[in-house]
Amino acid sequence: MKFPQSEQALKIASALAHKPRLAILHYIHSKKTTNVGEMYRALRMGQAKCSQQLKILRNAGLVIRTADGQNRLYSLNYERIEFINNILNTINDK
């Protein structure tokens, strides 16, 4: 059985199936908006690894990157998180 937007759901599930990416999501949520420098220092993660994980989260639509001068700021895409909740609620209702 295939449900609507299954490709998007698969990409999101894959992005969420990794502890460092979950830690990044939790950190961004706690700060609302942050940059990669703050993130990798707070999470004790190398800058390259943090940037790589952020790219995966951005590609899944879970994180939004905006420019502030030369800084790149990251925030959560709460619309996408609501999308995930709706999928899980659909599964739970069946």
Examine residue 1 and state whether it is found in any structural domain, yes or no. no
CATH number at residue 28: 1.10.10.10
pTM: 0.84
Examine residue 94 and state whether it is found in any structural domain, yes or no. no
The SS3 of residue 32 is coil
> How many folded domains does the chain comprise?
1
Do 14 and 60 form a contact (C-beta atoms < 8 A)?
yes
pLDDT tens, residue by residue, 33-67: 999 999 999 999 999 999 999 999 999 999 999 99
Examine residue 85 and state whether it is found in any structural domain, yes or no. yes
Examine residue 35 and state whether it is found in any structural domain, yes or no. yes
Give percent above pLDDT 70 in the chain.
90
Mean pLDDT, residues 13-40: 94
Examine residue 82 and state whether it is found in any structural domain, yes or no. yes
- Residue-averaged pLDDT of the chain: 89
Examine residue 48 and state whether it is found in any structural domain, yes or no. yes
